[in-house]
Amino acid sequence: MDKELIEKYDGQLFRWCLGKCHNYLDAEDLKQEIYLQMYEAKNKNIIIQNTEHFLWKVAYYTWCKKAKEYLKCKRNITITAEMENILKSDIDILKMVETEEIKSILDNNITKLKEPIKTIVILYYYNDLSIKDIALLKKMKESLVKYYLYEARNKLRRIFENERF
């Protein structure tokens, strides 16, 4: 875990934890759990595009997990509808945050692709059109659509590998 990161966000993170827990000791525990999750993410070589964004996502999901534990013990925490969806299943916090980071990286880089590759990727992956439908829509051969998808995947893979920390 970066010393600079801890120094920069420690006070702000503790205040956020205290606001969620309303108890000094529970806030300290939550903060330490967040740092532990960040440390584990770094050791697992999880891709972190924006460290601050990643920290707050980990904090939020860690708090949701702690809230679930509190519910079992105290049964006095009000849960928002968004938290209920998270609490219904046992989710690995780091996997969830990593998935969001990966989606964010891909979304940002898909917009940087040149035409017609960008359009074909969006039609195929976001609009769930088949290769045949895209070929008809774009008035090109199916093999060319497949080639553009192949090129896009390779380019995104290279960008993705370069963004590992």
- Last residue of one domain, picked from the residues 45, 66, 94: 94
Supply the CATH number for residue 130's domain.
Answer: 1.10.10.10
pLDDT digits (tens, 9 = 90+) for 107-145: 778 888 888 888 898 888 888 888 998 999 889 999 999
**Containing structural domain, residue 53:** 3-94
Taking the C-alpha atoms of residue 121 and residue 124, their distance in angstroms, rounded to an integer, is 5
Tell me if the pTM is above 0.85.
no
Report yes or no on 105 lying in a domain: no
Closest CA to 130 of 111, 103, 149: 149
Domain identity same for 72 and 116: no
- Last residue of one domain, picked from the residues 68, 94, 120: 94
Domain identity same for 10 and 87: yes
Taking the C-alpha atoms of residue 82 and residue 93, their distance in angstroms, rounded to an integer, is 15
- Last residue of one domain, picked from the residues 36, 63, 94: 94
Taking the C-alpha atoms of residue 161 and residue 140, their distance in angstroms, rounded to an integer, is 31
Domain count for the chain, please give it: 2
Report yes or no on 82 lying in a domain: yes
pLDDT digits (tens, 9 = 90+) for 19-72: 887 777 888 888 888 888 888 888 887 777 788 888 888 888 888 887 777 666
Report yes or no on 99 lying in a domain: no
Report yes or no on 126 lying in a domain: yes
